[in-house]
Structure 1
Amino acid sequence: MTAVSRGRGLIATMILIVVCSGVVQGYLTPLLPVVGAHVGIGGVGQNNLYLLSQVAFAVLTPLLSRWGDMWGHRRLLLVAVTSVAVGSLLIAARPTTATLAVGMVMQGAVVGFFPLLAGILRSRSPEHGRVGMSVLVGTLLLSLGTGGFVAGSLSDEHALAGLWTAVPFGALAVAAAFALPASTAPRAGRFNSFAALLLTLGLGSLILVLTEGSSWGWMSPASLLTLVASLVVLGVWVRVEQRSSHPLVDIRMLSNRRLAAVSAYTFCIAFGAIGFLGANAVYLGTEPGGDGFGLGLGARAIALVSLGMFVVGFAGSTLTPWLARAFGDRAVLTIGGCAGGLGFLGLCLFHATLPQYLVGALIVGLATGMFSASTRSLSVEVVDEAETALAVGVNEMAFSFGAAMGAAVIGALWAGHTSADGVVTGAGYQWAWAACAVVALVGTAFGLLFPRSANPSVPDAAAVGSAA
């Protein structure tokens, strides 16, 4: 086989695609206020664009994963990277309300990158699965932070210059996808269109209420009706999937104790570690008020703090295979969950100065890297090879919903603790950090449910060195 088909060449090519994923996910959000002012989109419109992207993420995750297992991981990866590249170019070349909306939906295909790459990696180079996945996750974290920092720096010079950040990375990802080999996993099944429609409607309405609940009012008729509708539609979807001979998502997969534990753990840790990222920027940028909450940093300093968290996350991700070899998978999950809880507890107690805040924030970053690498590796290994992309897709859905729920809960806590001029009070921050700490510890309990005896072997040091 060629170098791109196995080992170091395969992982190096995948890294190019993951860099594109990180840049695309990290560059646009900090630019929305500037771009919104330029094209005439107010705060509500910017929030609606964010909502649209979240709906695209939620819907495309299971669709791309299932299509990859049915029609070939490389083929669907080419479709996904092309969609992202074209969407990025559309946004940069002609930024309007319509092109931003269409482009962000097209960029939502990045959610398929990890499930599809996992399918190729498992079939072409299974001996490098653990190390390869940890390197890819670490690369994703670094490129998330770097993409936002580069885009923000470009926009300091010209308001719309940052929109071009993702364009060259999209083109590079398309070229890398052509260089990858096709996976050898067996393909089977048919696409269940009715299940896809139900899932799209159910997930879309659930994301809608999570995103808009704080502005509508959590107990308002609009919120309650949307929530009930989403639960009813998702309930019907579950029944359809259970009775289908060709399900879109095989619900029976969650009867696998290992996959169920990993998915529940992913939801809980993502609740704080990812749901907290927006709140992190708000706290860092808020001028200290009478209660002393806020650090008053500028945009570039905030980007540097975020980049520092992702750098520590990269270290945690790349250390995960060695930790799993030394202590086992269940111990790694437990350590990651405890680190997340400890980091948020540290923020509750020590946050008055930047050095104090950095201690807790960097511990959260470490937990982010550990859980991202460990859960993505384990979700690959707990199912048959033909269901690899779908199992990773289930984990990515748990990741997305955990992050969305965390952001929604933080928003609700903030909405209940604001001053007369709309500034979040100290109690709002304290409650948010405490909620993230508690949910992280709940995730640790799910990690303890992962069977100790079922611990796939981790590559030895020689294999690790050749892959990295």
Structure 2
Amino acid sequence: MATKSTSSPIAQSPTAELNGNVASGVMSYLGFTVLLLQVGIVPQLPAIGRQLHLSVGDVSWVLTAELLAGAVALAVFSRLADLFGKRRIMAVCLAVALAGALLGAVTKDVTVLLIARALMGAQAPMLALPEALASDTMRPDKARFTITTIHAGNSVGVAGGLLLGALVGAGGRDYHLYFWVAVATLALGLLALLMVRESPYRATGRIDVSGAVLLAIGLVGVLLGTSKGPTWGWASPQVLLLIIGGLGVLVVWVTVQHRVASPLVDLALLRRTATRTPIIVVFLIAFGIYGAISAVARFSQTNPAVAGYGFGYTPTDGWLFAVPVAIGGLAAAALLQPLGKRIGFAGAAAVSVVCCTIAYFTLAIAHSTFEPMMLSLAIYALGNTMGLAASQVIVARSVPPSQSGVALGLTAIVYAVGNSLGTTAVGVFFASNTAAGGTFPAPSAYTLSFVVCGACTLVATLFAWQAHRTGTDAAAPSPVKQ
């Protein structure tokens, strides 16, 4: 077996603080844009289907293409960022995504549109690399604040995406307007990145090409299989082959990572409680995110005159849900730092997932009433934002700067897989429990979905509380001086 290079979880030699308030604002903006553009495309799918004469199944590839490309980009670019510089690779990611947005803005060809969306998946590493760069180049308190505001930007980005979708979709506007907004958004982010300084830390070794290929194939298989299950059928040979084959490839990938000298992902990170526990918490939080949100969206858009429940909203009415999500995210940014200082960031993560649990169980009981639904969304956004930010703070402080990109990239990959599996579970609940002649999910399917999502965050509470009790978030010192 090859002897692979490992790094101690102790921070490297301290340097002067390289980035300050301006950089913090830029990174928070990048956190905002990645969710703005991911969510903003969803309300455009019906218009894309109409204008390009696509079926519902075919138009879903517009979303799937970015999902798959983003998962691969997270795995590969996170390692490249540790090797060649986080700011440099962030610029590459934004440039590739910008090229995709430009391509989408000028094409009316379906194949070219899918290529454009795949290129926009290069923006996915913005879910990890800004946090890693902040951890490398800022004082501990400033880094924690920046990571928190990045996640608050994510929540505001979700709200902004709902608003963007409503504005572009209003009056039957051409969906190309979304791509022009994406062009402006990404170009501004690329220019703003000039005001951020590079991390001085570099990992040693090389890029593990075989590991990258295996991880890409495995992730694409699992994510494609779970995303297409509702339309192709969960028992269809294609879906079973994709999911089982993808899982098999991932098992091979794990074996390869243990044997190569310079692995794509140092799986030793998962043997450390300080990184393993918050990553588990991230997975359990992520499981409920899109599952619950898709359930809320579907319920609210169901016609009560036909199904006997729902609010009868149009897709453009989704802007209503932007308000509580934005409020919850901003409240999290204000609360996490003082809460983390008082009870530790593992303790703050425990509090946050309790908030998520309360929100999901409230939705299970009272999702048919508008006011409790809106309040639950605000509480969910508060808990979700705090939980993900606190978990990434713990992970970032528990690894050396030369591994921060891979560690946070792994967290983001787990987040993406959790999202996919949660959405899959909700899809199964809806498909197997129908009403009104099989056209609509039965009301009990919504209740079950929210209860399962709440159960996941309840389990996450136990992990986070155990980490708090054992002092897991007493992580390594910062690489920068106070």
Shorter-normalised TM range: over 0.9
Q: TM-score, normalised by structure 2?
A: 0.90
3-state DSSP of counterpart to 1:276: helix
Q: Which residue of 1 aligns with 2:396?
A: 380
Q: Aligned ranges for residues 12-51 of structure 1 at < 5 Å?
A: 12-51=25-64
Query: What residue identity is the alignment partner of 1:85?
Result: L
Greater mean alpha carbon deviation, residues 378-387 or residues 329-338:
329-338
Matched, 1:84 2:119: no
Query: What residue identity is the alignment partner of 1:75?
Result: R
Query: What residue identity is the alignment partner of 1:175?
Result: L
The counterpart of 1:424, out of the listed 419, 441, 444, is 441
Separation in 1, partners of 2:273, 2:108: 47
Separation in 1, partners of 2:227, 2:380: 23
- Does the C-alpha gap of structure 1 residues 372 and 274 become closer, same or farther in structure 2, counting only changes over 3 Å? farther
CA contact (8 A) 1:315 1:369 kept: no
Query: What residue identity is the alignment partner of 2:47?
Result: V
Matched, 1:155 2:169: yes
Separation in 2, partners of 1:413, 1:398: 22
Q: TM-score, normalised by structure 1?
A: 0.92
Q: CA deviation at 1:106?
A: 1.1
Separation in 1, partners of 2:409, 2:185: 23
Greater mean alpha carbon deviation, residues 414-423 or residues 379-388:
414-423
Q: Which residue of 2 aligns with 1:229?
A: 245
Q: Aligned ranges for residues 97-246 of structure 1 at < 5 Å?
A: 97-127=110-140, 128-157=142-171, 158-160=173-175, 161-246=177-262
Separation in 2, partners of 1:272, 1:140: 16
Deviations for 1:167-193, whole angstroms, at most 9, x for unmatched residues? 211110110122321111133110111
Greater mean alpha carbon deviation, residues 45-54 or residues 390-399:
45-54
Separation in 2, partners of 1:194, 1:457: 32
Separation in 2, partners of 1:291, 1:147: 28
- Does the C-alpha gap of structure 1 residues 230 and 92 become closer, same or farther in structure 2, counting only changes over 3 Å? same
- Does the C-alpha gap of structure 1 residues 295 and 151 become closer, same or farther in structure 2, counting only changes over 3 Å? closer
Matched, 1:392 2:381: no
Deviations for 1:135-181, whole angstroms, at most 9, x for unmatched residues? 11112211221133124213314233333221211110110122321
CA contact (8 A) 1:142 1:314 kept: yes
3-state DSSP of counterpart to 1:55: helix
- The 4+ residue runs of structure 1 with deviation greater than 4 A are 289-292, 456-459
Q: Which residue of 2 aligns with 1:453?
A: 471
3-state DSSP of counterpart to 1:450: helix
Separation in 1, partners of 2:305, 2:438: 12
Separation in 2, partners of 1:153, 1:397: 31
Separation in 1, partners of 2:134, 2:109: 38
3-state DSSP of counterpart to 1:274: helix
- Does the C-alpha gap of structure 1 residues 97 and 266 become closer, same or farther in structure 2, counting only changes over 3 Å? same
CA contact (8 A) 1:14 1:176 kept: no
Separation in 2, partners of 1:359, 1:171: 35
Unaligned stretches of 5+ residues in structure 1:
none
Deviations for 1:299-335, whole angstroms, at most 9, x for unmatched residues? 3432221342233123123311111111222221211
Separation in 2, partners of 1:290, 1:26: 28
Separation in 2, partners of 1:366, 1:290: 34
Query: What residue identity is the alignment partner of 1:366?
Result: L
Q: CA deviation at 1:75?
A: 1.2
Separation in 1, partners of 2:196, 2:124: 18
Greater mean alpha carbon deviation, residues 103-112 or residues 443-452:
443-452
Separation in 2, partners of 1:92, 1:291: 38
Deviations for 1:180-229, whole angstroms, at most 9, x for unmatched residues? 21111133110111111111111111112211223333344333333221
Q: Which residue of 2 aligns with 1:437?
A: 454
Query: What residue identity is the alignment partner of 2:152?
Result: G
The counterpart of 2:303, out of the listed 269, 284, 287, is 287
The counterpart of 2:78, out of the listed 65, 81, 87, is 65
Q: CA deviation at 1:456?
A: 4.2
- Does the C-alpha gap of structure 1 residues 152 and 96 become closer, same or farther in structure 2, counting only changes over 3 Å? farther
Separation in 2, partners of 1:295, 1:231: 39
Separation in 2, partners of 1:51, 1:370: 28
Q: Percent same amino acid among aligned pairs?
A: 23
Q: Which residue of 2 aligns with 1:253?
A: 269
Tell me how many residue pairs correspond in the alignment: 459
Query: What residue identity is the alignment partner of 2:471?
Result: S
Deviations for 1:347-388, whole angstroms, at most 9, x for unmatched residues? 111123211222222222221111121122222111111100
Separation in 2, partners of 1:95, 1:278: 28
Query: What residue identity is the alignment partner of 1:345?
Result: F
Q: CA deviation at 1:298?
A: 3.1
CA contact (8 A) 1:72 1:187 kept: no
Q: Which residue of 2 aligns with 1:343?
A: 359
Unaligned stretches of 5+ residues in structure 2:
1-15
Q: What value does the CA root-mean-square deviation take over the aligned residues? A: 2.3
CA contact (8 A) 1:325 1:457 kept: no
